């Protein structure tokens, strides 16, 4: 019997490209599909360079129902990992319909095809579904909070759509992975995050400030009820995160799921403050970041970090890379981009 084939929608993006590499290295055949609406071919080329061979790449929009159907006719797909979605929180508040249309329709088009073959779907969800948790760390049983942005709402809605579909269509299995804060880059510095315009997320803003693309990093809020007054997050290395997908897909394909629909937190279990992260970046990379305290950013929660013990027990996965290794990789990637530019 040949290798199992995994379709990675949004495969040329930050998370999708790292997941593709780990899947291929674990022996899966991977079909990468992307509409390149929010990235160029840098990561696709990087994936091929890391693997030393070209992978099938399909240029397509998962909102195009006929195109998705044709894709499933063309390839025998054993599992789908779905990343193809918009992800900018602020933009989603300004353009909610763009977010609901793209993020929900693309996922439903995939499910419509997977359910017919009794297949497996892994959905990329987010710790954003927990909002500001009452108790920390958060487990998969922690209550969900109403979403504070259309982006966050699409994550919750897609989880609901997957859960209801798995319940209704026999043979369909689903896993939702709730990511905490994915950061870093591949140790090869051949793939990484490629934010367009001014980065919203902390680590790309740090690396762009360090390289001189941004004048100054604003640390949003120093009056939070945390040890140093800055927010606490669970920063998960992108390669560790990618490996969790291999564990989850393998669990599905080997029929080891306890339930046809499962949810796992993917984080380190280690809270790190914004200030600690900036200091660690400076220390490990021997660079200085020009930073200043700024007012709190609207919509930010004070603290959120994972209890990853379910993923550890059921998926046999845990985060392995240190924050220092991760921040060194993020810096190596930014320097690589500067040379490319």
Q: Which residues bind ligand WQD (CB under 6 A)?
A: 87, 89, 126, 128, 181, 200-202, 205, 217-220, 231, 233, 274, 297, 300
What does DSSP say about strands 272-273 and 232-233: parallel, antiparallel, or unpaired? antiparallel
User: Closest Cα to residue 138, out of 42, 319, 266, 48?
Assistant: 266
* Comparison of 300 and 325: residue with beta carbon closer to ligand WQD: 300
E strands, 20-91, are 29-34, 57-59, 79-82
* Cα–Cα distance measured from residue 232 to residue 300, given in angstroms and rounded to the nearest whole number: 10
* Comparison of 4 and 82: residue with beta carbon closer to ligand WQD: 82
The CB-of-294 to ligand WQD minimum distance in angstroms stands at 7
CB-closest chain residue to ligand WQD: 231
Q: Which residues contact 69 (CB under 8 A, 6 or more apart)?
A: 113
The CB-of-148 to ligand WQD minimum distance in angstroms stands at 9
* Comparison of 87 and 186: residue with beta carbon closer to ligand WQD: 87
Contact 268, 308 (CB under 8 A): yes
Is-catalytic flag, 44?
Answer: no
Q: Exactly one of 151, 179, 224, 235 is catalytic; which is it? A: 151
* Cα–Cα distance measured from residue 307 to residue 180, given in angstroms and rounded to the nearest whole number: 11
* Cα–Cα distance measured from residue 28 to residue 79, given in angstroms and rounded to the nearest whole number: 10
* Comparison of 188 and 200: residue with beta carbon closer to ligand WQD: 200
The CB-of-228 to ligand WQD minimum distance in angstroms stands at 12
The CB-of-52 to ligand WQD minimum distance in angstroms stands at 30
* Comparison of 231 and 332: residue with beta carbon closer to ligand WQD: 231
The CB-of-260 to ligand WQD minimum distance in angstroms stands at 26
User: Closest Cα to residue 81, out of 45, 28, 36?
Assistant: 28
SS3 content of the chain, % helix, strand, coil (to 5): 45, 15, 40
Q: At 250, list the tokens.
A: 């393998």
* Comparison of 219 and 252: residue with beta carbon closer to ligand WQD: 219
Dihedral, CA of residue 42, residue 45, residue 50 and residue 53, to nearest 10: 170
* Cα–Cα distance measured from residue 100 to residue 85, given in angstroms and rounded to the nearest whole number: 10
Q: At 42, list the tokens.
A: 């840098």
The CB-of-224 to ligand WQD minimum distance in angstroms stands at 8
* Cα–Cα distance measured from residue 297 to residue 280, given in angstroms and rounded to the nearest whole number: 22
The set of catalytic residues is 151
């Amino acid at each position: 019997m040949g290798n199992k084939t995994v379709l990675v929608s949004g495969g040329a993006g930050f998370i999708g490209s790292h997941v593709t590499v780990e899947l291929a290295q674990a022996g899966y055949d991977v079909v990468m599909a992307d509409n390149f609406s929010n990235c160029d071919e840098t990561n696709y080329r990087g994936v091929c360079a890391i693997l030393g061979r070209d992978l099938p790449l399909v240029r397509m929009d998962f909102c195009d129902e006929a195109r998705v159907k044709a894709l499933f006719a063309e390839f025998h797909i054993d599992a789908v990992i779905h990343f193809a979605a918009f992800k900018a929180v602020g933009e989603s508040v300004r353009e909610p319909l763009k977010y609901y249309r793209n993020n929900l329709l693309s996922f439903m088009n995939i499910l419509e095809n997977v359910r017919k073959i009794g297949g497996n779907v892994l959905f990329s969800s987010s710790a954003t579904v927990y909002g500001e948790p009452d108790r920390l760390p958060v487990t998969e049983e922690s209550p969900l909070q109403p979403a504070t942005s259309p982006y966050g709402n699409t994550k919750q809605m897609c989880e609901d759509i997957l859960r209801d579909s798995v319940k209704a269509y026999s043979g369909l299995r689903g896993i939702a992975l709730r990511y905490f804060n994915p950061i870093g880059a591949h140790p090869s510095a051949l793939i990484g995050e490629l934010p367009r315009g001014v980065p919203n997320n902390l680590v790309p803003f740090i690396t762009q400030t360090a390289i001189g693309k941004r004048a100054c990093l604003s640390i949003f809020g120093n009056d939070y009820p945390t040890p140093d007054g800055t927010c606490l997050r669970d920063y998960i290395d992108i390669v560790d995160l990618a490996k969790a997908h291999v564990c989850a897909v393998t669990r599905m394909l080997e029929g080891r799921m306890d339930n046809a629909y499962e949810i796992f937190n993917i984080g380190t279990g280690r809270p790190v403050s914004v200030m600690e992260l900036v200091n660690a970046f400076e220390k490990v990379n021997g660079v200085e970041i020009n930073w200043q305290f700024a007012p709190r950013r609207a919509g930010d929660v004070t603290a959120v970090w994972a209890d990853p013990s379910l993923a550890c027990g059921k998926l046999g996965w845990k985060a392995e890379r240190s924050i220092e290794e991760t921040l060194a990789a993020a810096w190596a990637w930014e320097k690589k981009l500067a040379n490319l530019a």
